[in-house]
Amino acid sequence: MRRLILFKSSLPIALAAFAMSGCGDDGATSTAGTMTGGTDGTTATTEATTDPGTSAGPTDGTGVETDGTATGSQTDATTDTTDATTDATTDPTTDATTDATTDATTDATTDATTDATTDATTDNFCEEGVVICEDGVAKICDGMGGFTEENTCEEQCADGIGCVLCIPGEGQCEGDQVLVCNDQGDGYIEGDSCDPLQGLSCDMDLGQCVGACANLGLSYIGCDYYPTVTLQHDSYNSSPKDDFAVAVANTSNATAEVTITQGGNTITNVSVAAGAVELVVLPWVNALTKGHGPTAMVTDGAYRLRSTQPVTVYQFNPLNSTTTNDASLLLPVNTWRDEYMVAAWPHWVNTYPSTYAVVASQDATTVTLNPSATGGQIQAGAGVSANGTGEVMLNEGDVLQVTSSAGDVTGTIIVADKPIQVFGGHECTNIPLNVAACDHLEESMFPIETLAKEYIVVPPVQIPNDNLDKAQVVRVIASEDDTELVFEPDQGVNTSLANAGDFVELSMTTAAFKVSSDKKILVAQYMVGQAANFGQSDPAYILAVPQEQYRTSYLFFAATNWQANYVDIIAPDGAGVEVDGMMVNTWSPIGATGFSVAHVQLSNAGDGTHTVEADEKVGISVYGVQSSGSYWYTGGLDLEFIPQ
């Protein structure tokens, strides 16, 4: 909750009612008896007796007038360095300022608000009512070169407002809390909280949080995460046989102190050495993982993981390789947004539901659910109707888990009034539905703001024969109505999606291709079951990453107890790429896309930490397989805003 902190202050003038505006053409200030002029922010001062026949000339933005030969004017090139304080009685035929007879080409280069035939003495005055600040004095322009009022400010002066308590947008510290000056300049509102568990403190001089976790970029690397248990087959969600766990990989060169809490309780503290990884087993949350539904809201259902150094976090459900696994790359809180679209899989054999889960990081977060054409058959509960619509309020750490009664929640759009995290998935399912055997699915959804219009899609490899591709099912989901798709090469499927949330499905394909669209799309890839005869493993799934979110450097984790782990790398043709310090040389072109793919088996020696370094941006996915089991997740990505 944001609170407004007002301070009583005797301000000598109430100026907040005046709208901010530029002075004259360039925002320069005017005082009685003088004028300011010039274009592009350059100021030239002339005496008040300036010849009214003289007009302002173009500048190059440095305070030196432009060479007349460059614009076709009659200005003598030898005068282009004339000082801006040249006496105003200078003959206008020789002055470096622009004559009214200047070629029209020159006019085009002059500031659009300065007409060559306009008297410079009337061109650059502040508009009437505009407030400017000079040496702590608030002045109201009269529109004629003077001021109607001047007042010395007791505190500070803000252009466009006048005398204020503080400059809008500036911060100050109150303990670990940043207070930010409000837009009116008459008080402070709460800004960032400098969390010591993220190694942050409030710098009194800067008025902002400082530390290794301050000002993080928008990527999968962060300091604040919410691991979340999701629905799992009841034969595989009980410790100690099967554990829910997170892997924390330290991307920094200093030890990371990690604290995991749930509600008001501290669950554990872990130290992670620089460049190392630690596996942390966490208790199952039975209200989220047991049974087959119904839809429920679980108070403090999520864990919160905070680190004093930037880390990457993956969750495993369950950790050890078994009959039904999957894993998710977690997204740090600073990358969360307020709008998501779900990729899941159909309700299976009247028992196992299609699901999604929503997690809040702030109190009083209102979540609105908009089901897709296939997502309107829901086990009602927690304010969610049987048709899949609903509006639910969550507090920090709460989890809303929505379960189907039939159909498929894929394409459901979730909107919140504060940033949220969303997981899509399934309790346990076949892929395709008639091909054994069932496996748990889960994946963190990417915010719609981070989606793109073009993706490269490649299948994983088979195990044990990794010279062959493994079949997958691919879904391309529209984020907006009237979406048109193009596949290169053509995949022989529908390419027109009428409504947001509609999707096209490519079933049992080993094709590698590019899919592009006229609007943002979400692309999900599903590993097929073992009975499909494409090597070992059962279903798992992943979200494809658009090229705009590729990176040149990755630190990721692959559990060492799997039969085989791979990283698949999609790179521009000719890119230099290293995995764990070894150059990758086995590339296969992806049609005529200009990209190639490499499937690199990872060593199970060591602690499971791996790196990818490249001289161009590349995309990676990570998966592990065994007989009747698998996991698959995005190895990392940037999460920058991509315009529609």
Q: How far apart are CA 567 and CA 612, in angstroms?
A: 9
Q: Is the pLDDT of residue 415 over 50?
A: yes
SS (H, E, C) 601-642: EECCCCCCEEEEEEEEEEEEEEEEEECCEEEEEECCCECCCC
CB distance 613 to 578 below 8 Å? yes
397 in a structural domain: yes
pLDDT for the residue numbered 320: 85
Query: Would 284 be classed as within a structural domain?
Result: yes
* DSSP string covering 249-307: EE-SSSPEEEEEEETTEEEEEEEE-TT-EEEEEE---HHHHSSS---EEETT-S-EEEE
CB of 332 closer than 8 Å to CB of 306: no
Does 432 sit behind a cis peptide bond, omega within 30 degrees of 0 on the bond before it? yes
Residues 24-42 have pLDDT tens digits of 344 333 333 333 333 333 3
Q: Which of 65-69, 398-402, 499-503 is least confident?
A: 65-69
Q: How much is the mean pLDDT over the chain?
A: 85
Q: Which of 475, 465, 466, 422 is nearest to 444 (CA)?
A: 422
Q: Would you say 324 and 440 are in contact if contact means Cβ atoms under 8 Å apart?
A: yes
Query: By the 8 A CB rule, do 504 and 493 touch?
Result: yes
Q: Given a cut of 60, is residue 122 above it in pLDDT?
A: no
Task: Give the C-alpha distances (Å, rounded to integers) separating 543 from 339, 465, 475, 524, 622.
Answer: 16, 24, 10, 5, 12
Residue 39 CA to residue 37 CA, distance in Å, equals 7
| Per-residue pLDDT tens over the stretch 288-315 | 999 999 999 999 999 999 999 999 999 9
Residue 203 lies in a domain: no
- Comparing CA positions, the residue from 415, 397, 375 lying closest to residue 295 is 375
CA distance 602 to 569: 12
Phi, psi of 335 (to 5 degrees): -105, -5
Q: Where are the alpha helices (DSSP H) in 113-267?
A: none
What is the C-alpha to C-alpha distance for residues 518 and 390, in angstroms, rounded to an integer? 30
Beta strands (DSSP E) in 503-580 are: 503-509, 513-527, 540-543, 551-557, 564-572, 577-579
What share of the chain in percent tops pLDDT 90?
78
Query: In this structure, is residue 251 part of a structural domain?
Result: yes
243 vs 364: CA distance, rounded Å: 32
User: Structure tokens of 63?
Assistant: 């305070």
Q: Mean pLDDT throughout 110-122?
A: 39
How far apart CA 134 and CA 144 sit, in angstroms, is: 18
How far is it, in rounded angstroms, from Cα 579 to Cα 613? 7
Instruction: Render pLDDT for 224-268 as a digit per residue (tens, 0 to 9).
Output: 999 999 999 999 999 999 999 999 999 999 999 999 999 999 999
Name the residue among 461, 472, 425 with its Cα closest to residue 325: 425
pLDDT band with cut points at 50, 70 and 90 for residue 21: very low
Query: Is residue 14 pLDDT above 60, yes or no?
Result: no
For residue 372, what are the contacts with CB-CB under 8 A and spacing of at least 6?
342, 409, 410, 411, 412, 413, 499, 500, 501, 502
Closest-CA residue to 407 (of 378, 446, 380): 378
What SS3 state is found at 644?
A: coil
Burial 346-365 (b: 16+ CB within 10 A, else e): bbbeeebbbbbbbbbbbeeb
CA 123 from centre of chain: 44
pLDDT in tens, 179-199: 999 999 999 999 999 999 999
Which residues, at least 6 apart from 429, have a Cβ–Cβ distance to it below 8 Å? 345, 346, 348, 352, 438, 439, 441, 539
Cis? peptide before 240, omega within 30° of 0 = yes
| Cβ atoms 182, 4 nearer than 8 A | yes
Q: What angle do CA 52, 58, 61 make, to 5 degrees?
A: 130
User: Hey, what are 281's tokens?
Assistant: 């087993």
Alpha-carbon distance of 389 to 369, in angstroms, equals: 5
- Sign of torsion over alpha carbons 247, 251, 257, 262: negative
Enumerate residues 6+ apart whose C-beta is below 8 A from 564.
Answer: 463, 464, 466, 601, 624, 625, 626
Q: What is the pLDDT of residues 393-412, one digit of tens each?
A: 999 999 999 999 999 999 99
Give the helix/strand (H/E) hosting 104: helix 104-109
Q: Which of 231, 225, 246, 235 is nearest to 441 (CA)?
A: 231
Q: How many CA atoms lie within 13 A of 616 on its CB side?
A: 13
CA atoms within 13 A on the CB side of 24: 31
Distance between CA 522 and CA 410 in Å, rounded?
Answer: 11
What is the per-residue pLDDT for 644? 84
296 belongs to a structural domain: yes
Q: How far apart are CA 197 and CA 303, in angstroms?
A: 14
Residue 440, domain member (yes or no): yes
Amino acid, res. 275: G
Least confident of 117-126, 213-222, 392-401, 602-611: 117-126
pTM score, two decimals?
A: 0.80
Q: Tell me which H or E stretch contains 152.
A: strand 147-152
Domain presence at residue 286 = yes
d(CA 26, CA 139) in angstroms, rounded, equals 18
When pLDDT is averaged across residues 114-134 and rounded to a whole number, the result is 67
pLDDT of 568 strictly over 80: yes
Mean pLDDT of 323-350: 96
Structure tokens at 593: 């896309």
Q: Please say whether the beta carbons of 615 and 552 come within 8 A.
A: yes
Question: How large is the greatest C-alpha to C-alpha distance in the chain, in angstroms?
Answer: 96
Tell me the residue range of the domain where 236 lies: 222-448
Residue 548: pLDDT band with limits 50, 70, 90 = very high
User: How many domains is the chain partitioned into structurally?
Assistant: 1
- Structural domain includes residue 625: no
More confident residue, 391 or 607: 391
Asked whether the predicted pLDDT for residue 70 surpasses 50, the reply is no
- Alpha carbon distance 213, 139 (integer Å): 42
Q: Which of the four pLDDT bands, split at 50, 70 and 90, describes residue 123?
A: low
Residue 6 has pLDDT above 90, yes or no: no
Under a CB-based contact definition with an 8 Å cutoff, are residues 389 and 407 in contact? no
